[in-house]
Structure 1
Amino acid sequence: MKALILGLALLAGTAAADEAKVSRPGQYSGYSPALYTERVTSSFYFKTRDGVRLAMDVHRPAVNGKPVEQAFPVVWQHSVARRFATDQKFSGVAQMPLLTQYGYVVVEVDRRGAGASFGSRRGYNDRTEARDAYEITEWLARQPWSTGKVGVYGCSNTGDAAMHAVSLMPPSLKAVFAGCFSWSKYDGFMRGGILANWGSGVDRTFEDDLKNLPVDGDADRTLLRQAAEDHRTNTPLASLWRGMPYRDSWSDLVGTRFWTEGSSGTYRAALARSGVAFYIFGGWEDDFRREGLVAMANLASNPRKYVIGPWQHCRNPGFDLLVEAHRFYDHWLKGVDNGVMQEPTYTYSTQGAAEAPRWQQSSQWPPAASRLQALHLRVPGQGAGLRLDARAETKQAASVKLGVATPIACPAGWSPLAPTCLQSDNGLRFEGEALAADVEITGHPLLRLWVSSTEPDPHVFAYLEDVDAQGRATMVTDGRLKASLRAVKTPPYDFLGLPWTRSLEEDHQPLQPGVPVELKFDLLPLSHVFRAGHHWRLTVTGSDPRDRRPVQQGAQLTVHADVQHPSALQLPFATAPPGGPRVSP
């Protein structure tokens, strides 16, 4: 492992020996000066192979209001709403048209069935969209204002679209800058077999579609209205997801097993053969953060980089993500020797430390210094508190019951790590000891939990919390599992050594009332320092505010923790854990 503490200089920069040339995460100068102060945008319809018209914006460098008649590299996004500027100040993806000042053409294309484009959306990142992306990429490469080298970018659903654009291996596509996407659609939207995300994807009403941006020459919005009429037959995404409870579920709405078709990981062999370079980004407050790390593991033969910070979904306040895209594209589309690919592969922030966020780098994930050590769940007895302890429980029988309650309400758009809606008061709280020194946890926590239930298919949620000396808690990460889909199988791709629940229909195995079963699942990755005087806490509940399934009234969950049922939380210690040496699982 090669680790480097970057400190605050990573974001703000410090005086360098050669101030004219700086290239490091979040900072870039002296390699690619701003050449143009203007850009011009033209919009029109691009006709696909089957005649469907897609709305396209082309942003070009300009001088005196006219486009520069010169060939530039092209970067583009397969969008759902061109020039969508919400949170532009905090989104590197929304800022991408600013690259025109450095000699790029930036293009945004509404996907079929979205924005001002005609056609109907069959699925969400399906093979139809991938074929569209191939056509668009090669068309862009042939234009007189293009050098023939093309990059693609996106975040969330457009990050998925960027990954799918590679899957048919367009020859002109050289580099992808994408974040907050799902490597596996099932694991992204049905993590642990549970549909429990805030959003189901972009579904808009006819009235919403009429508010989209028309192309040039459609001042009366006649074409926009016609496109919106096409969208009436779009596949409803919430219905699509709900109709596929298993990884191998068939969807009559789209006529395939869509979790497979819609996953970029399905086409991992083609992504590897493409030779395309990837820069993947994520946020510690994003539900998809594990997905980007799994993608990185499966793209090991491609040139690749990764950055993750203390950010929510597709937002990066305090860090110039546009700079990272600029450095990356300069290297791969312009041949600029700026050292971006000589840096360690992974750049990540660590929360909780006195200087948080503290930035670090590593050549691998998890960092080589991280080692798993088990903290056993202990149920000392009547009236005693639930504990997390490095010593294994020796009692012959121990368990604790939880009446499953309606989750504590959270505001719309809640970040999973927001302090306003902790579920601690709704669950069983297993407390660790107060720490004598700071301890860094970096990697993927694993939970082995023995449970029984009064219902055949409980949903089990687990939250790792940081509790300070005054008892104030902050949720650090979470995990979940649908108990009937607990069967752990060998994954068909690199899953970072984590327990992979296959979740096929044949794996569905309901619980028998009162009979304990073992659940093994991961909590989302983290890098966090638990400060001296703080302690960690594991909260286990039977409900979560994101869960779309109503709480089963009167349901009771029992957690077992004894020698026959050794429930334990494994934490990835990046510094020596208290109470003994680090051990691997």
Structure 2
Amino acid sequence: MKIRTSFPYETTRQDVRIPLSDGTRLYARVWRPRTGEPVPALLEYLPHRLTDWTAPRDWQRHPWYAGHGYASVRVDVRGHGNSEGMPGDEYSPVELRDGVEVIEWLAAQPWCSGRVGMFGISWGGCNALQIAALAPEPLEAVVTVCSSDDRYDNDVHYMGGSVLAVDMHAWAATMLASVSRPPDPLYVGDAWRDMWLWRLEAVEPLIHIWLSHQTRDSYWQHGSVCEDYGAIKAAVLAVGGWHDPYRDTVLRLVERLRHLPDDRVRALIGPWSHQYPDRGLPPGPAIGFLQETLRWWDRHLKGITAPDSASGTGGVPEEPKLRCWISDSHPPATVYEELAGRWVGEPSWPSPNVGFVSYGLGDAASQGAAQPPAQIRAPAPVLVRSPMHTGLDAGRFCPLGNDADLPPDQREEDGKSVCFDFGVERETWILGRPRVRLRLTSRAPRGQVVARLCDVAPDGASTLVTRGALNLSARRGRDKAVEWTPGTTEDLDFELNGIGHAFPPGHRIRLAVSSAYWPWIWPQPGSEAGFLLDPAGSTLELPVRAGTGEAIGTIDMISATGAIGAIGATGAIGAITFSEPEQAEPLGVVIPLTLNEQRPERLVVRDVAKGEWRLEVDALPHSRLRSSGGTRAYPDGLELTEDAVDTYTVNESDPLSARTRSDRSIRLHRPELPWDVRIDTRSEIACDATSFITSDEVVCREGDEVVFHRTWERRIPRTAG
């Protein structure tokens, strides 16, 4: 990592309050170059508290952009951080409308050229896409990182129509704790307490509304740009990582934004987790991402199309529409500092270099992980009946670069699934979204099917490559819940998450099918009965990429059931390279060292007598900042301490035993004021056959005084989940 200390422009920083038409003022921090000429503005807009939560990350990039001739602006959503107003649901119409007003305000400032770009990761990236779909006139380009085009099926709420127990619950708990934090008196003055208490009276756990919409109805359609990609007029650079749950959005955007001129859509997918690609957090390699985005801004906000030899900047050259990483085969591990592999470029998506290869499950080399790899022909239907704790080795849903984020060896999971193995005779690259077509006979009206694709080494080690899931009631569309008539047989198909991976000769491609995946997928009542899978009527289809390097030739593809023709590659592409990562000087947050014992990031506890399994997760949102209980001391005098634990419990034979709990504790302390507040929250979900039962509690203290205490209890019908 190169820390940049000198730039083409000197810069200034100023905190301002942006007025909205209803009188609300949003808190903003503006970094600007010292120049007499107006410059384009770049906006990052999200609720995550710019004066503390995202401040270290903001310092890495906003001053950097300012030093290269842009006004870079970070704004807190209303009702969050030091912004006025009341908090609401994520991506609410009010939030998006406010964002449009902010863009128009920026464009009207005397220091702005009238041209605005918008960028962000996760929530900020989603806001960039959703506001681009509203097409405010000054917004000409966006960079959206680790974001979602489909709020229902590619976010933290549902997966394949099933409730995402692992992240819907944890994220709702995180946001409940976040929105309960007060404004900072250093920045808002004595009004902070009244603003805090006013906000707290409006707080409502988001889990209530998310669980109340269990199919893809109008609630989820709002803000999902997949409803109308044509509404987006701004140039879009979409970025993701193969270890990020939002990565499929990148592939869909580069495919569906065909109404935009060719040079106004680019996509980039690396080996990364849910992080900006320049931060150097596992897995790497990191890239010079700020330089990549600067070229994007230069072209679309300044009209620079030729490189500037003096500054090293310039517009976007004639490069592949999609640049992505294909990882080499690697042994299973919960963290990789860097993955071996290579960059490839695709002229379009779907790519002419990629074709689907079909593997018939009836021709698989093995069924059931414990069986020898003897050839099995025309097998009878097999019972898939996984214990409820299948999935404990799934890893974190949204990896952040922590040491225990990624899935460990999958052999235990494979042993609780039905497995189909296919030998690899020559190196096989896959790029895109694998899919499965399965013939199932369900034994219950409700259930779920989970498919995992693994790379099995000669020594038996099983590395998870990608996975997908389908709620059986969503088999006819995510917008409806259709129960299965027990004993009947149907064919269904679904996609797995996108991936770039190289299977080497001598390895096996394994498809593992299970009927449970806790705590990712909330188990359905009756799902303990499992289902019958007919291998003779089922296939695995892999998106196989032709070529073994930058110069791509035409090769024949052979499936497990015979030849399927040839895949021709077009337009040989030169080597894809990136600059060294660089950032502005860090903020200077200090993490005190203590003698406190650090708890495990992920701990699995088994009660053998009860058949109960418990997963405990250290849930602090800041990667690798867990020491001393998450305490951080900021240069402005703030001391912030956080603690967060998520617990997932299930009995191995009872889907109705599933329950979750999240505990959050936050302390904000300014000794010089003095100011000392603490927020403690508890969130729980349990279930029976007909309902989810949620319980939430918030306790807020100023010093030793409890200033707010509220609990919520809800029973929400299980309409599809």
Query: TM-score band (shorter)?
Result: 0.7 to 0.9
Aligned to 2:206: 237
What letter matches 1:557 in structure 2?
G
Please state how far the C-alpha of 1:514 moved relative to its aligned partner.
2.8
Shift of 1:286: 1.3
Question: Contact 1:386 / 1:429 at 8 angstroms: preserved in 2?
Answer: no
Q: CA deviation at 1:230?
A: 2.2
Q: Paired residue for 2:479?
A: 504
Which of 225, 240, 249 is equivalent to 1:264? 225
Q: Does 2:231 match 1:281?
A: no
Asked if 1:345 corresponds to 2:312, the answer is: no
1:418 corresponding residue in structure 2: 406
Is contact 2:384–2:515 with CA below 8 Å preserved after alignment? no
CA distance in 2, matches of 1:199, 1:403: 22
CA contact (8 A) 2:79 2:199 kept: yes
Q: 1:42 aligns with which of 11, 14, 28?
A: 14
Q: Any idea what SS the aligned residue of 2:530 has? A: strand
Deviation at 1:483, TM superposition (A): 0.5
Contact 1:393 1:561 in 2 (8 A): no
The residue number in structure 2 matching 1:52 is 24
Contact 1:116 1:213 in 2 (8 A): yes
Map of 1:549 onto structure 2: 522
Q: Of 335, 341, 355, which aligns to 1:371?
A: 355
Q: Is the 8 A contact 1:400 1:558 kept in 2?
A: yes
Separation of aligned partners in 2, 1:195 and 1:320:
37
Match of 2:290 among 322, 327, 335: 322
Q: Does 1:532 align with 2:505?
A: yes
2:389 counterpart (402, 406, 410): 406
Distance 1:213-1:536 versus aligned 2 partners, 3 A rule:
farther
Of 107, 110, 129, the match for 2:73: 107
Q: How far has the Cα of 1:47 moved from its partner?
A: 2.1
Please state whether the residue corresponding to 2:231 is helix, strand or coil. helix
Alpha-carbon separation, structure 2, partners of 1:127 and 1:279: 24
Match of 1:431 among 421, 424, 429: 421
In structure 2, the CA distance between the partners of 1:418 and 1:92, relative to structure 1 (3 Å rule), is farther
Instruction: Provide the C-alpha distance between the structure 2 equivalents of 1:230 and 1:545, rounded to a whole number of angstroms.
Output: 35
Q: Does 1:569 align with 2:540?
A: yes
Report the CA distance between 1:376 and its aligned residue. Answer: 1.3
- Equivalent position amino acid for 1:226 in 2: M
Is the aligned partner of 1:183 residue 2:149? Answer: yes
Q: 1:520 aligns with which of 481, 493, 508?
A: 493
Q: Is the 8 A contact 2:182 2:196 kept in 1?
A: no
Q: Distance in 2 between matches of 1:284 and 1:207?
A: 28
Alpha carbons of 1:101 and 1:190: their partners in 2 closer, same or farther (altered >3 Å)? same
Deviation, structure 1 residue 175? 0.5
Q: What is the one-letter code of the residue matched to 2:343?
A: W
8 Å contact kept, 1:573–1:582: no
Distance 1:572 1:380 in 2: 18
C-alpha distance in 2 between matches for 1:219 and 1:149:
33
1:558 maps to 531
- Between stretches 376-385 and 400-409, larger displacement belongs to 376-385
Change in Cα spacing, 1:373 to 1:380, as seen in structure 2 (3 Å) is closer
Contact kept? 1:378, 1:386, Cα under 8 Å = no
Residue 103 (structure 2) aligns with: 137
Q: Secondary structure at the residue paired with 1:149?
A: strand
Q: Residues 149 and 172 of structure 1 are in contact (CA less than 8 Å); yes or no, is this contact kept in structure 2?
A: yes
TM-score (normalizing by structure 2): 0.65
SS at match of 2:493: strand
Contact between 2:87 and 2:179, CA under 8 Å: does it hold in 1? no
Q: Deviations over 1:541-568 (max 9, x none)?
A: 12223435246577132342254xx111
Letter in 2 for 1:352: D
Pairs within 5 Å for 1:50-129: 50-62=22-34, 68-83=35-50, 95-129=61-95
One-letter amino acid of the counterpart of residue 335, structure 1: G
Please name the residue that 1:301 is paired with: 259
Residue 419 of structure 1 aligns to a residue whose secondary structure is coil
Query: How much identity, in percent, do the aligned residues show?
Result: 26
Aligned to 1:310: 271
Letter in 2 for 1:295: L
How many residues are paired up?
Answer: 515
Q: CA deviation at 1:371?
A: 1.2
- Give the alignment's Cα RMSD to 1 decimal: 3.4
Give the letter for the 1:61 counterpart.
P
Whether contact under 8 Å (1:307, 1:346) holds in the other structure is yes
The one of 248, 253, 276 equivalent to 1:290 is: 248
Q: Offset of 1:412 from its aligned partner?
A: 7.7
Structure 1: 5+ residue stretches without partners? 1-11, 13-26, 63-67, 249-256, 488-501
> For residues 335 and 370 of structure 1, what CA distance do their matches in structure 2 show?
34
Gaps of 5+ in 2: 281-285, 306-313, 331-338, 400-404, 547-555, 568-721
Determine the C-alpha separation between the residues in 1 that align with 2:486 and 2:466.
30
The residue type equivalent to 2:207 in the other structure is: A
- State the TM-score, normalized to the length of structure 1: 0.79
Q: Distance in 1 between matches of 2:558 and 2:176?
A: 55
User: Is the 1:377–1:388 contact (alpha carbons within 8 Å) kept by the matching residues of 2?
Assistant: no
Q: Which has the higher strand share?
A: 2
Q: Deviations over 1:169-192 (max 9, x none)?
A: 211111100022221111223231
1:23-34, aligned counterparts within 5 Å? 34=7
Distance 1:36 1:511 in 2: 64
- Gap change, CA 1:392 and 1:584, over 3 Å in 2: farther
Q: 1:467 aligns with which of 446, 453, 456?
A: 456
User: How far, CA to CA, are the matches of 1:522 and 1:388 in structure 2?
Assistant: 28
Query: How big is the shift at 1:335?
Result: 1.5
- Quote the residue 1:356 is aligned against: 340
Alpha carbons of 1:93 and 1:418: their partners in 2 closer, same or farther (altered >3 Å)?
Answer: farther
Query: How many angstroms apart in 2 are the aligned matches of 1:323 and 1:559?
Result: 52
Q: Distance in 2 between matches of 1:311 and 1:103?
A: 28
Q: In structure 1, what is the equivalent of residue 624 of structure 2?
A: none
Q: Greater shift after overlay, 465-474 or 373-382? A: 373-382
Distance 1:282 1:53 in 2: 32
Distance 1:372 1:57 in 2: 49
Contact persistence 1:372–1:584 (CA under 8 A) = no
Would the alpha carbon gap of residues 266 and 381 (structure 1) be closer, same or farther in structure 2, given more than 3 Å must change?
closer
For 1:470, give the aligned amino acid: D
Could you give the per-residue CA deviations for residues 68-112 of structure 1, whole angstroms, max 9, x where no partner exists?
Answer: 4542211011111243787999x7996244211111111111112
